[in-house]
Structure 1
Amino acid sequence: MSSLAEKPTLNWKEFVCGWGAAFINVTVTYPINKIIFRQMLHGIKAKKAFYQLHGEGIFFLYRGILPPLCQKTLSLSIMFGVYEQVRQPLVETGVNRYMAKALGALISGTTEAALMPFERVQTLLQNAHYHDEFKNTFHAFKALRSYGLVEYYRGLVPILLRNGPSNIGFFIAREELQNCMPKYDNEFIRTSTEFMCGALIGVVLSSIFYPLNVLKVAMQNKIGGEFENPVKVFVQIYRDRGCKVRYFYHGVQMNCARAFISWGVMNTAYEHIKAVIY
């Protein structure tokens, strides 16, 4: 009975840890993320994307941050909270711990897709083509409403293909790395270890799933009309970029840099918040 009573408290703590870690992460890495977005959208190099943002001025630099701030804080909260809520009961009933982790991660990643409208609006706000069409986040949300609820979920397939598998990779790799790394009493060394653990996982996973993000951006860059087949869009991008797979990876270097910082900050913030709450 006592273990059952403790579960809601445990889940609440995990939700809070994920929320706090995401808030810190998004505010630190948003400018880098915006450069990567421009590279994904236009297939340009980081230098040109940087000059685009520089030419638009500081006023537009953090334009579009509210959707990812809302989406990422809720998303990571769900990611850690739902994962633990699913994993723990499965382990207690005798399910193989790796299977329990995989199911918990898959369900948490699929649940995160419910927050897709934030990602959808962020895509539009980061595109210079829509600077004059949408004043802010709330205006963009309102404008999309006239196209129906489904418009908020344009590009759902690549997000589902990304979320679940990447969550599985994160949770399994994270625990394995933590188990392999030596334990340190020194706060600085322990924090550095936590950062590197998250950073390395982030670089690997974000690189593997990078083409799905390119596909998502291409699909979400449009408003109205029929929903496109993801396979056809993928083939069209391939043709438009010279029929070379490596052109799908325009921006991957900046993406790796962002992932290194982002996942490192997120994992470190999560562990520190967890230590305070628990």
Structure 2
Amino acid sequence: MSNIGLLLSLTESFNWREFACGWGAAFINVTVTYPINKLIFRQMLHGVKAQHAFHQLRNEGIFFLYRGMLPPLCQKTLSLSIMFGVYEEVRRHLRDNGFNSYTAKALGGLASGTTEAILMPFERVQTLLADARYHEEFRNTFHAFKALRSYGYGEYYRGLVPILLRNGPSNVGFFIIRDEIQCRVPKHENEVVRTITEFICGAMIGVVLSSLFFPLNVLKVAMQSKVGGPYENPFKVLLQVYRERGGKIRYIYHGVHSNCTRAFLSWGVMNTAYEHIKAIIY
């Protein structure tokens, strides 16, 4: 009986609702924003303007437009589930043990962001499937996963450093800024006004954080667009990208305008979906 009581106690203390809210929010988000993400990816990879990247995708057709969506759908649903779930578990545990609220939030964000990195193989495969150079080499998600295995399991985690540098700090920023905004924005009874407020809150946070960490995403794409060969030093890869793009920092930010548009929509949809799912589950 003592073992059953312990199991029930652990089940009650484990907040599965946050994991479920994150999963549902991510599912809605990915299905809405995938085409925009692919447009930005092409700008990051080739350093071209949005119009040129749009013409690339249009010429390839609708079939290739949604090619590669399964990895981000799997990765993002699990990733946001971990992001919200692990954050809340760590934050709550630290808070209950006397930690300062901001310290608990920061450590919770770092823990959730670092944990998300275990899903990196999905992001790795998505990069390859979105790159036109590999249209013939990798037929689909499962084929790409199988083909990479011949290069060793480390190939699934090529580009790990920029992902770790991005995930943890961006999660810290998201949760702290989000809580600060929610504390200061008046609560609205009107459903439409509340939804718009939730969308704008998430959208503005997304624009700020995605712009701040944009160079790390460029670095990640540059590292993950290669298959096989030695594992490169991230600093040297970033320096190489800088030189290849004319030795100007602003060229590193090719795609940042589209990225802001994508982040505005993506994070707005995600935050709104999360709040509505949370209201239903709780």
* 2:91 is aligned with 1:68: no
1:222-242 C-alpha deviation (Å, 9 max, x unpaired): 000110000100110111111
Give the C-alpha shift of residue 3 in structure 1: 8.4
Which of 7, 18, 21 matches 2:13? 7
Alignment partner, residue 103 of structure 1: 107
Match of 1:141 in 2: 145
Match of 2:84 among 80, 87, 109: 80
Separation (CA, whole Å) in 2 of partners of 1:272 and 1:7: 23
| Distance in 1 between residues matched to 2:110 and 2:228, nearest whole Å | 30
Partner Cα separation in structure 2 for residue 275 and residue 119 of structure 1: 30
Distance, in Å, in 2 between the alignment partners of 1:240 and 1:199 is 32
Summarize deviations over 1:15-45 as a string: whole Å, max 9, x none: 0000000000000000000000000000000
Deviation at 1:6, TM superposition (A): 3.2
What is the TM-score when the length of structure 1 is the normalising length? 0.98
Q: Which residue of 2 aligns with 1:214?
A: 218
Residues 1:187 and 2:188 are matched in the alignment: no
In the other structure, the counterpart of 1:163 is 167
1:159 aligned partner, one-letter code: I
Equivalent-residue separation in structure 1 for 2:209 and 2:46 (angstroms): 23
Q: How many residues align structurally?
A: 276
Quick one: distance in 2 between partners of 1:89 and 1:222?
A: 41
Cα distance in structure 1, aligned partners of 2:89 and 2:49: 42
Runs of 5+ in structure 1 lacking a partner? none
Q: Residues 224-239 of structure 1 correspond to what in structure 2 (within 5 A)?
A: 224-239=228-243
The alpha carbon displacement at 1:93 in A equals 1.1
1:28 counterpart = 2:67 = no
Residue 268, structure 1, aligned to residue 272, structure 2: yes
Q: Deviations over 1:124-165 (max 9, x none)?
A: 000000001111000000000000100000000000000000
2:116 pairs with 1:117: no
Residue type of the alignment partner of 1:6:
E
Give the gaps of 5 or more residues in structure 2.
Answer: 1-5
> Distance between the aligned counterparts of 1:6 and 1:189, measured in 2?
34
Alignment pair present for 1:89 and 2:93: yes
**Cα RMSD after superposing both structures:** 1.2
- State how far apart, in whole Å, the 1-side matches of 2:94 and 2:56 are: 49
Q: Which amino acid is the alignment partner of residue 209 of structure 2?
A: L
